[in-house]
Amino acid sequence: MIKIGMLVGGRYEILEKIGTGGMSDVYKAKDHKLNRFVAVKVLKQEFSENTNFVSKFRIEAQAAAGLMHSNIVNVYDVGEENGIYYIVMELVEGITLKKYIEKKARLSVKEAISIAIQVSMGIEAAHNNHIIHRDIKPQNIIISKDGKVKVTDFGIAKAATSNTITSNVMGSVHYTSPEQARGGYSDEKSDIYSLGVTLFEMLTGRVPFNGETTVAIAIKHIQEPMPSPREYVPEIPVSAEQIVLKCTQKSPDRRYQKVADVIEDLKHSLISPDEDFVVIDDGEVSGQTRVVTDGEETRPKKKQQKRENEEEHLRLNEASRQRQKKKSSSRPRKGQREQEEEEEDNYDPKMERITTVLAVIAAVLIGCIILFIAGKTLGIVDLDDIKSRFSSEEKGKEVEMPEVAGMKLSTAKETLSEAGLDYNVIYEESSEYEEDIVISSNIKAGRVVEEGTVVELTVSAGAEGVSILDVTGKSLAEATALLEKDGFQVSKTEVSSSTVEKGNVVSQSPKAGEKAPRGATITLEISSGPDSSKVSVPSVMGMTEMDATVTLTEARLVVGNVEEINYEDPAFLGLVCYQSYSVGDYVDPETPVDIKISLGPAEQTYSFVANVESPVLEDPAFVAGTQVTVVLSTAEGVELTRTTTATFPVTMNVSGIKGSDKGKITFQYISAGQPSYVQDPNTGEMVPVAGEAAPKAVERPVQFVPEL
Using the 8-state DSSP alphabet, how is residue 581 labeled?
Answer: S
CB 55 within 8 A of CB 107: no
Query: CA angle, corner 335, sides to 331 and 337, nearest 5?
Result: 80
Residues linked to residue 8 through DSSP beta bridges, in sequence order = 12
Q: First vs last Cα of the chain: how many Å apart?
A: 22
CB 640 within 8 A of CB 674: no
> In 10 A of CB 671, how many CB atoms?
18
Looking from the CA of 509 toward its CB, the CA atoms found within 13 Å total 6
Using the 8-state DSSP alphabet, how is residue 470 labeled?
Answer: -
Helix (H) or strand (E) holding 41: strand 36-43
Distant-in-sequence, close-in-space partners of 608: CB < 8 Å, separation ≥ 6: 632, 640, 652, 653, 654, 657, 663, 702, 704, 705
| Three-class SS state of 651 | strand
Reference 36, options 609, 663, 604; nearest CA is 604
512-517 contacts at long range (C-beta below 8 A, 24 or more positions apart): 512/468, 512/469, 512/470, 512/471, 512/472, 513/467, 513/468, 513/470, 514/467, 514/468, 515/461, 515/462, 515/464, 515/465, 515/466, 515/467, 515/468, 516/465, 516/466, 516/468, 516/488, 517/429, 517/465, 517/466
Reference 147, options 70, 221, 236, 209; nearest CA is 70
Cα-atom radius of gyration of the chain, to the nearest Å? Answer: 42
Distant-in-sequence, close-in-space partners of 173: CB < 8 Å, separation ≥ 6: 167, 181, 214, 217, 218, 221
> In 10 A of CB 562, how many CB atoms?
13
Distance (Å, whole) CA 86 – CA 19 = 14
Q: What backbone torsions phi and psi does residue 421 show, to the nearest 5 degrees?
A: -110, 150
Distance (Å, whole) CA 266 – CA 243 = 8
Write the CA distances from 480 to 301, 353, 470, integer angstroms. Answer: 41, 63, 11
Residues serving a catalytic function are 135
Residues linked to residue 525 through DSSP beta bridges, in sequence order = 493, 507
Order across the sheet with 694-703: list the strands: 639-645, 628-634, 662-671, 694-703
Query: CA angle, corner 612, sides to 607 and 615, nearest 5?
Result: 135
Pairing of strands 650-658, 686-689: unpaired
Write the CA distances from 631 to 179, 646, 700, 702, integer angstroms. Answer: 70, 14, 10, 12
Reference 525, options 501, 500, 495; nearest CA is 495
Cis amide linkage into residue 237, ω under 30° from 0? no
Residues linked to residue 608 through DSSP beta bridges, in sequence order = 654
